């Protein structure tokens, strides 16, 4: 019985995710879904992307997922993009229908990029795709270099892997080569980015990636 209910929930989420993807494709919008542990730096990366991509003349909206509070939406608005906060009220992931409802609320005229921050954890969001073109997993140096080994699905299914807070590498016993070896064993195709939101390392490269994927989507 429980298995049946779960199958239905996942099935209806998959349908809603496909519909989100069709909507984005029809309107030439590139959608990115960031997942990662609480505090790994998802909002900080989004703030950097908003600033850098706005500077390049890109137009974007941000959908923020949290159990509670609108702290992250307020941070994004301060960085310069319109944001829509979803509070799940306890659920540990966004689901595709929540994102569809957010899209209906946002003014999407002229928008090229949709950035989504999933609820902070490396487990629940893996089962609930949102339809985004890229699922980005964000790990960070203080979490420890064994995370790919402990949360393999998050890394195996990712389309992009980010290691954030590289400015802390000199201060912590984190072996970056070991982290990337583990990530590579699970997923050798996902582009990899070393990022520091404090120093700005890697932000330009990440924005170049977003720009080139947007160009592929809109120009074929």
> Closest distance between ligand GTP and the C-beta of residue 166, in Å?
7
Would you give the binding string for ligand GTP spanning residues 110-139, x where CB under 6 A is met?
----------x-------------------
Stretch that binds Mg ion, among 10-18, 35-43, 53-61, 90-98 (CB under 5 A): 35-43
If the CB atoms of residues 41 and 125 are measured against ligand GTP, the closer one turns out to be 41
If the CB atoms of residues 81 and 197 are measured against ligand GTP, the closer one turns out to be 197
What's the chain's length in residues? 220
Give residues with Cβ within 8 angstroms of 190, minimum separation 6.
158, 159, 160, 161, 183
Task: Out of 41, 125, 131, 148, point to the residue binding ligand GTP (CB under 6 A).
Answer: 41
Task: Out of 69, 105, 198, 212, point to the residue binding ligand GTP (CB under 6 A).
Answer: 198
Stretch that binds Mg ion, among 34-42, 81-89, 155-163, 208-216 (CB under 5 A): 34-42
Count of residues of this chain found to bind Mg ion when the rule CB under 5 A is applied: 3
CB contact at 8 A, 86 and 64:
yes
Task: Out of 43, 164, 187, 194, point to the residue binding Mg ion (CB under 5 A).
Answer: 43
Residue nearest to Mg ion (CB): 43
Burial 180-201 (b: 16+ CB within 10 A, else e): bebbeebbeebebbbbbbeeee
Residues 138-167 that bind ligand GTP (CB under 6 A): 164-165, 167
Residues 65-104 that bind Mg ion (CB under 5 A): 72
Which residues are near Mg ion by CB under 5 A? 42-43, 72
């Amino acid at each position: 019985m429980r298995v049946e209910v779960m199958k239905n929930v996942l099935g209806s989420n998959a349908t809603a995710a496909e519909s989100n993807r069709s909507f984005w494709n029809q309107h030439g919008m590139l959608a990115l879904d960031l997942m990662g542990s609480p505090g790994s730096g998802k909002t900080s990366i989004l703030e950097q992307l908003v600033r850098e991509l706005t500077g390049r003349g890109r137009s974007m909206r941000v959908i923020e997922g949290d159990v509670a509070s609108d702290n992250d939406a307020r941070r994004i608005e301060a960085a310069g993009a319109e944001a829509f906060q979803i509070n799940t009220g306890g659920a540990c992931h966004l689901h595709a229908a929540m994102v569809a409802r957010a899209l209906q609320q946002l003014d999407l005229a002229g928008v090229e990029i949709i950035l989504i921050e999933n609820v902070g954890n490396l487990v629940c969001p893996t089962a609930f795709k949102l339809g985004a073109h890229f699922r980005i997993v964000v790990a960070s140096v203080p979490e420890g270099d064994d995370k790919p080994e402990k949360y393999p699905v998050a890394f195996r299914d990712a389309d992009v892997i980010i290691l954030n807070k590289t400015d802390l590498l000199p201060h912590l016993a984190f072996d970056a080569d070991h982290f990337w070896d583990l990530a590579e064993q699970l997923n050798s195709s996902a582009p990899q980015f070393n990022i520091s939101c404090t120093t700005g390392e890697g932000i330009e490269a990440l924005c170049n990636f977003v720009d080139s994927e947007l160009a592929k989507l809109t120009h074929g």
